Amino acid sequence: MKLGIIGCGAIGSDVAKAAETIDEIEKIYLFDIDKKAEQNLCKIIKIAEIKPVLDYLDKIDVVFEAASQQAVREYASSILNAHKDIIIMSVGCLFEDKFRIELEKIAKKKHCKIYLPSGAVCGIDGILSASVDIIDEVTLVTTKSPKSLGKSVNKRTVVFEGSARDAVKMYPRNINVAANLSIAGVGLDKTKVEIVADPVATRISHKILAHGKFGRLRAEVENMPNPNNPESSYMASLSAIATLKRIVNPIQLGA
């Protein structure tokens, strides 16, 4: 398999390094608007080559995006129209209903897949399974330090309560987690989000609470920062690598 990567930051670099160790992956093509970033990564990945996205589409099988929502808007349609699968990390762009539906239509027509790694949360598999029947309620509780939320409080304070769609308008850094959960479960407008500023919080935590015909679900993770970028959760990189391994693995685990 040949892999294209858009974005050579912390997550893109983690994925490229892991991909080089996967026997089924024989070639990696790198692209980043930051030329220094792509050059630095290319130096340490022996099977890598720098090439513009549209120039490598006829050479690859899967494209991994870890750049930005803008990158997804710019390249996703072309990737799918080229009959190639795509792994999207910047899931927030799929909050735009028209754009998401357009990508779904292209993928169906071209018989290819759009993979969305679970990212910095745990429990997405349970929500996905539960969504086969009726889910009564899904709530995401995200807890961060006041500073990371632009707040100044001296006690645990709920700074937002509302729908996932409204949450990402006010707190866009929460967008990927809320998008994944919404797509897996009850949608953008029915998924509830609670954002908490906690002065004693040393890690970003995400808690999923849900109930329905399946029973009750509670899943929580406290994320360690990525060693190469404190603004990114290391779990996001691990989730991306796990998705890539799932694509090449004959045994498919999970919902």
Residues with a catalytic annotation lie at 206
Reduced 3-state DSSP string for 48-101: EEECCHHHHCCCCCEEEECCCHHHHHHHHHHHHHCCCEEEECCHHHHHCHHHHH
Distance CA 68, CA 123 (A): 24
Residue partners of 59: CB distance under 8 A and separation at least 6: 2, 4, 27, 29
Q: How many CB atoms lie within 10 A of CB 134?
A: 10
Distance CA 171, CA 141 (A): 13
